[in-house]
Structure 1
Amino acid sequence: MTTSFSFKVLVTATLLGAAGLVLAHGNVTPQEVDTGNLPELGDEVLIENPFREGNSHGDVNAQAVEVGESAYAGNCAGCHGIRAMSGGLTPDLRELTEWDDEYFINRVRNGTDRGMPSWKKTLDQNAMWAIKAYVESLPKPE
């Protein structure tokens, strides 16, 4: 009887541990993003953030940052940390200075082989560029 009991305890502990790992990943259900009155960017993928000050729609940068903050909180913070401050498992997005706009949009649209999902079916590029504008607005770590 001791072997049977020990086996049941081991199986229960394993299942609870696995459940904890699944729940620790965070909310992976994509959240809808209201891009408000941001200019519609269309379907052709842009390779430069149009919402950055000085670019084609830079006059709406403050609005894009606000939209991006909400979009980031609902879709990115679960893995990349609140206000883009990673806990160490994923990159601290505030420090990714080598990521140019083209790299960013391709990475977000297509995902990675290391676990980042593709967002092209759930977020339009308005939301993606707003997220980039938000991350760029955050203070860099010291």
Structure 2
Amino acid sequence: MRGIGLVIVHELAQGAANKEGIQGITETGAQLFASSILNPRNKDTGTYSGATIPRWVRVTWREGTTPGERWTTGKVVGDYTVQVLSRIPREAFDLARAGRKRFLVLTFRIRDDGVDFGWMVRLQDGVPFVTLMKGGDL
């Protein structure tokens, strides 16, 4: 799917240990998100205009990394592939495209033993944003 405003959130699940060298890489090899250290205080949000929704995202993290080289040092201890496109119904894409100020939010919540995935269609019609539709694990 193309041409939708997209927000990507990756965050640590409540009670999960801090993660080092975390990356989310799509099936095309594009980096969707990354954090040198992910902890309960530093969730990350990225925004994209006219983005392509990935089919899947491979999420990895490491232990024993070296500062400044967190994505290439240490040992990979978390390695999970999250199906994305197939888990979002066509109605959600239609709703996101149906009007201005609408966008799709993809959230990756990192646990110690896996990754939860959720999506929602939101409308920016003041603050707070209005959630029009949602699904997934969250």
TM-score, normalised to structure 1, is: 0.25
- Larger RCO of the pair (alpha carbons < 8 Å, separation 6+): 1
Compare the two structures and name the one with the higher helix fraction.
1
Flag the structure with larger Rg: 1
TM-score, normalised to structure 2, is: 0.25
